[in-house]
Copies of this chain bind each other. A is one copy, B any other.
Amino acid sequence: MSPELDLMIAIHLLHEVLEAQIEAADLDHSVPKNDFLMLVHLNEPKRMGALAEDMHVLPSTLTAIADRLEGTGLIHRQRDPDDRRAWLLDITDKGRALQSRIMGLSTEMFRSITGLTAEEIKTFDHLMQKVRSNIIERDGMQELMK
């Protein structure tokens, strides 16, 4: 088996375990799995379209996620003053509290799951920075091809 395929499987495994762990950390089960991602991506008020692109989901999917999070009072919609069709999504205080709880937990959680040292995490992070920018660049390329 090639190291690449091996890596793909390992990434799948890690991803799965991370997701399960994050879900377990949400003690009151107020937020479905992937909705956490939105909380993390929402570091500043953003349009739904922009967020959908960030998260690689369809606009209609994002509407549902936003509805759920707004329902539990973690975010709120606000009309974009520049375009009355669009919303600006923003985190509420309650949302910010959960967001920082996630951020606080994430460090310990990640180390415990992966068993990596601080040094190794640094290396890992460095690699993934490169991967991320490559993916984003690729996405941009494919957008142009249409």
Contacts and interface: CB of A to CB of B under 8 A. Distances in A.
B5 A40 contact: yes
A127 interface: yes
Contacts of A135: 13-14, 17, 113-114
A61 interface: no
A79 interface: no
Interface residues of A, number: 51
How many copies are assembled?
A: 2
Interface stretch (A44-52, A70-78, A82-90, A117-125): A117-125
Given A2-B107, A4-B121, A37-B12, A127 B116 contact: yes
26 contacts: A1-B103, A2-B106, A2-B107, A4-B109, A4-B110, A5-B106, A5-B110, A6-B125, A6-B128, A7-B121, A7-B124, A7-B128, A10-B128, A10-B129, A10-B131, A11-B14, A12-B37, A13-B135, A14-B132, A14-B135, A113-B138, A115-B130, A115-B133, A124-B124, A124-B127, A127-B127
